[in-house]
Amino acid sequence: MNEKVRIAVIGIGNMGSFHVRDLAAQSNAELTAVCDIDRPKADRFGEMFHVPAFYDYREMFEKAPLDAVVIATPHYDHTPISIDAFQRGLHVLTEKPIAVHLKDARKMVQAYETARQKHPGLTFAIMFNQRTYGFWRKIKSLIEDGELGRLVRVSWIITDWFRSQAYYDSGGWRATWKGEGGGVLLNQCPHNLDLFQWFAGMPKRVAGYASLGKYHNIEVEDEVTGYFEYENGMVGHFITTTAESPGTNRLELVGERGKLVFEDGRLTFFRNRSSMFTFLKESKSAFDKVENWEIPIPYQHHNEGGHRFLLENFAEAILHGEPLIARAEEGLNSLALGNAMMLSSFLGKPVDIPFDEDEYAARLAELARTSRFQKPEEKQLEEDLNKSFGFH
Ligand SMILES: NC(=O)c1ccc[n+]([C@@H]2O[C@H](COP(=O)([O-])OP(=O)(O)OC[C@H]3O[C@@H](n4cnc5c(N)ncnc54)[C@H](O)[C@@H]3O)[C@@H](O)[C@H]2O)c1
């Protein structure tokens, strides 16, 4: 292996164009090619970064000097591209969500496992850039250190993913069953669903209530409420939409030893002096509560999207075996949560985890097949993607 990982980016749209710039500036990687089915776009970035441009990733796999690829195409294509890449022994960093549904995601993991028999050092990562955010890392470490004790409730109101109609009209694939395969749960929320499972683990049962195109002229979900039940009794709530302005980003994690709240960039710990379960059983008073102390929790944050840290980590993992910030297999959990909320909403009843993944994939295929939705004419937006990351 060279001192630098030779990487190509596939899909040079909103997100891929950031990855190309980041990789070109990275000391442990070398951008060796770009690929986009939009020829003028591929050519423009190829010229800008002095690398060959390809319009078909298979041709690029044949001709470009490559160790690894970053996939930033619409979600459905993450599956075939990563499977082909693994068959050629290439390392893969895929954008979130890992795939549209679990059936596709499992095919990717299977292809990775098969390829690893021949190439044991193969790396498969996913772009969960929010895992580098200082406040989420602090929450994770407080949970791991046992500061909260046993978790009893995690509730996330994440309604500050506001998107206008102009956003949805900006890409032909966006917010359609055929092109995207879902809405807010699949596009904006994979980060939050990943963090939810990173903090609290996976539930055993999920109920979801999703509204399709309630506020936007789209055919997929733009408002969802989810309810999660855990084996140990913990409950979870997940409330999201792309139609609220001003929206809310409030995460409450309640444990035996106190409550952690993140909102408006502030992280606050309401620390119980003693166990609330012990107090509940032993207190002689009807109305007293556990004494608690309100503690502002400091954290350090890089105040950027943080994608470049995952790109650097991906290359370090390939070169020197550094542990990945986010292994792609972990992307199955956030996808399971999103798919389960949608399946529950379609069925009108809660679903157990694991659920029937074939049934969900078949439903999506049927929705795509029978869609009568007419997408308005595509209008490209020239906007700073930084505005979309929401890193406070
Ligand atoms: N991690 C994040 O913060 C973040 C932010 C935005 C988007 N994303 C993810 O990145 C992916 C792309 O989203 P976007 O907003 O950049 O979309 P986009 O429409 O702006 O860009 C997609 C690009 O892929 C190209 N493309 C489509 N199919 C292709 C193929 N088979 N081969 C090569 N190129 C192909 C398109 O021409 C387009 O240029 C999605 O999966 C999305 O969820 C992640």
Closest ligand 1 atom, residue 78 Cα: 41
Ligand 1, atom 33, lies closest to the CA of 36
Distance 35 CA to ligand 1 centre (A): 11
How many A from CA of 212 to the centre of ligand 1?
23
* Ligand 1 geometric centre to CA of 72 (Å): 4
Residue 96 Cβ inside 6 Å of ligand 1? The answer reads yes
Q: Which secondary-structure segment (H or E) carries 30?
A: strand 29-35
Taking residues 184-203, report their average pLDDT: 98
Q: Three-class SS of residue 96?
A: coil
Nearest atom, ligand 1, residue 127 CA: 1
Is the pLDDT assigned to residue 391 strictly greater than 60? no
**Residue 190 CA, closest ligand 1 atom number:** 43
208, containing H or E segment: strand 205-212
Q: What is residue 392's predicted lDDT score, i.e. its pLDDT? A: 45
**For ligand 1, is residue 77 a contact (CB within 6 Å)?**
yes
Evaluate whether 101 touches 361 at the Cβ level (below 8 Å): yes
Q: Whose CA is nearest to atom 31 of ligand 1?
A: 77
Instruction: Tell how far the Cα of 271 is from the centroid of ligand 1, in angstroms.
Output: 43
Domains and CATH numbers, the chain: 5-129+305-325 (3.40.50.720), 131-301+334-388 (3.30.360.10)
SS3 content of the chain, % helix, strand, coil (to 5): 40, 20, 40
pLDDT, average across residues 105-130: 98
Which tokens sit at 332?
């199955």
CB 46 within 8 A of CB 53: yes
Mutate to test the pocket of ligand 1, among 18, 37, 170, 191 (most ligand atoms within 8 A of CB): 37
Round to whole Å and give the CA distance between 20 and 33: 9
Q: Which two tokens stand for residue 182?
A: 């879902």
19 lines ligand 1 (CB under 6 A): no
Q: Nearest 10 degrees: CA dihedral of 378, 367, 185, 233?
A: 170
Taking the centre of ligand 1 as the mean of its atom positions, its distance from the CA of residue 13, in whole angstroms, is: 5
- Count of CA atoms in the C-beta half-sphere (13 A) of 206: 29
Q: What is the C-alpha to C-alpha distance for residues 236 and 385, in angstroms, rounded to an integer?
A: 30
For position 389, what pLDDT does the model report?
A: 66
Mutational test site, ligand 1, from 78, 95, 334, max ligand atoms within 8 Å of CB: 95
Residue 170: CB within 6 Å of ligand 1? no
**Residue 382 scores a pLDDT above 80:** no
Which residue's CA lies nearest to atom 8 of ligand 1? 15
Residue with tokens 């020239």: 382
Higher pLDDT, 306 or 374: 306
Q: Is the CB of 72 under 6 A from ligand 1?
A: yes
Distance 45 CA to ligand 1 centre (A): 15
Q: Is the CB of 129 under 6 A from ligand 1?
A: yes
Phi-psi region at 212: left, alpha or beta (left = phi > 0; alpha = psi -120 to 50): beta
Residue range 379-384: average pLDDT? Answer: 68
Q: What is the pLDDT of residues 41-72, one digit of tens each?
A: 999 999 999 999 999 999 999 999 999 999 99
What is the whole-number distance in angstroms between the Cα of residue 390 and the centre of ligand 1? 18
Share of the chain above pLDDT 90, in %: 94
Ligand 1 centroid to Cα of residue 15, in Å, is 6
Closest residue by Cα to residue 173 from 389, 13, 21, 42? 13
Q: For the residues 131-145, what does the mean pLDDT come to?
A: 98
Q: b/e for 162-198, b at 16 or more Cβ within 10 A?
A: bbeeebbbbbebbbbbbbbbbbbbbbbbbbbbbbbbb
Other C-beta atoms closer than 10 Å to the C-beta of 368 total: 16
pLDDT (average), residues 228-246: 98
Ligand 1 within 6 A of 261 CB? no
Q: Is the CB of 16 under 6 A from ligand 1?
A: yes
Report the nearest atom of ligand 1 relative to the CA of 17: 16
Given pLDDT bands bounded at 50, 70 and 90, which one contains residue 1?
A: low
β partners of residue 93: 70, 125
Angle at 113 between CA 111 and CA 114, to 5 degrees: 65
Measured from the CB, is residue 41 less than 6 Å from ligand 1?
yes
- Whole-number average pLDDT of the chain: 96
Average pLDDT rounded to a whole number, residues 328-342: 98
Ligand 1 binding pocket includes 80 (Cβ within 6 Å) = no
- In this predicted structure, the answer to whether residue 302 has a pLDDT above a threshold of 60 is yes
